[in-house]
Amino acid sequence: MAKILIVEARFYDHLNDMLLAGARAAIEQAGHAHETITVPGALEIPGAIALAAESGAYDAFVALGVVIRGETYHFEIVAGESARGIMALSMDGLAIGNGILTTENEAQAIARADRAQLDKGGGAANAALAMLALKGRFG
């Protein structure tokens, strides 16, 4: 049984609740254990994963959060840099599923977060588990 760390940037509680429900259900359905930590925002997710990875306590990671486009350039920075950080950690050999939603509006975020619709939280958890399986195969 693997131990998965879910790292969430809780900014939109109702959206994060949906993402978390999907991720937790997918991990539990696969028979693995999980723990959840919360960070201030999506930019902090890669750093938190890096710190947790150093502990050796987790086999894989799920990044969850929601970034909705606003009126400033901040959206591009948060969306791009959080994805870049997660990709860098993945290239270093960590098994990570990226479930940080980057949407134009709340309706798009709801459709992606809702388990009855696109279930991106569950998808991110399944991606982390698939990467963990690959790591086991090649590592």
Is 38 part of any known ligand binding site?
Answer: no
Over the range 33-50, which residues count as b (16 or more CB within 10 Å of their CB) and which as e?
Answer: ebeeeebeebbbbbebbe
Alpha carbons 112 and 118: distance in angstroms, whole number: 5
Is 71 part of any known ligand binding site?
Answer: yes
- Please confirm, yes or no, whether 14 is among the known catalytic residues: no
In the chain, DSSP assigns E strands to 3-9, 33-39, 60-68, 96-103
User: Which among 14, 32, 34, 74 is annotated as catalytic?
Assistant: 74
Give the residue numbers of the binding site for (2S)-2-hydroxy-3-oxobutyl phosphate. 71-72, 112
Give the residue numbers of the binding site. 11, 42-44, 66-68, 71-72, 98, 112
Give the residue numbers of the binding site for 5-amino-6-(D-ribitylamino)uracil. 11, 42-44, 66-68, 98
Q: Which residues are catalytic?
A: 74
